[in-house]
Structure 1
Amino acid sequence: MADYVNKQVIELKEVNEENQNRATRSMKTETHLSDGRLRLYRLAAVCLGVLCVLQVTLNISLRLAFYNRGNETVEKDPLQTSYNTMTKERDQLQTSYNTLTKERDQLQKDRDDIMSKFSNMKQKCPEGWQKFESSWYFLSTVKKPWRESRQDCLERGADLVIVNSDMEQEFLFGLTKN
């Protein structure tokens, strides 16, 4: 009977060991399955986290883009006003430039006319005229009243003398003596 008892105990031990092996295998399988599910859940959580980060980044980018666009309009208005003002000033300056150019051309023409007349005077001295410094003098031999004398001078393109210096006074006295 002792052998029988030992056999049963050994068999029970074997059965217990076999049951433990099965239990261990089933736990490993369950753990393996839960590891697979756990990995899947982790992957889903990571994907969701990445999507959230992308969404936040996109929101910030769009906010900055639209905020800057609004500032561009705010900045553009004073710049447009400044541009318009400068355009008006440029047009006024162009008009002034054109006017001054015309005046300059007219003054050059007048100067050329005067220089031409002056060179003609230099070349030929009219009869009865005397030159002193840069002026010409005519001594009339006919006595006339002041008004008639002035009219005679104006007809000759001159005017009655106005003495401006002592040297001019001495020249005029020399004319009257000759």
Structure 2
Amino acid sequence: MKIFGLVGWSGSGKTTLLVKLIPELVSRGVRVSTMKHAHHAFDVDVPGKDSYEHRAAGATEVLVTSANRWALMHENRGSPEPAIEELIPHMSAVDLLIVEGFKDHPHDKMEIFRRETGKALLQPNDPQIRAVASDGPVAEATVPVLDLNDVAALADYILDFTGLSKAA
């Protein structure tokens, strides 16, 4: 399984790009999964649901399943946030795992950059950023700069970089 990340400041368009990239990659025969780093207070469960009540009662893990999908919720309960390497074994094998966020993890990634966020480019300080996708010129980048709106070209880059273009 190849791993490639999308990073960028909040509001840069990581998720917007990812929901366009996934169908582009899938249409090319690439099996894709994603892992997203979320804010500390996120929750996928709601009070009143049985699964929520199980966790609130102290269960470390709750697995909810139906004919359509299943989800495993794990409570860290004071343990440190797990690293990507600890989470990957919980996922099914696919061709490409796209990681959204996890800026500080040392995996190959593409920075999503928009000047309008008012934030500085991450790329000069992160040697794992292999390309920048932007909606305008980024003269200070020292890696390839790709058009953020050209999803096909971005998919080409990711597949070429990961070696999956030869397999797909």
Tell me whether the two structures share a fold, i.e. TM-score over 0.5: no
TM-score normalised to the size of structure 1?
0.16
Higher strand share: 2
Greater Rg over alpha carbons, structure: 1
TM-score normalised to the size of structure 2?
0.16
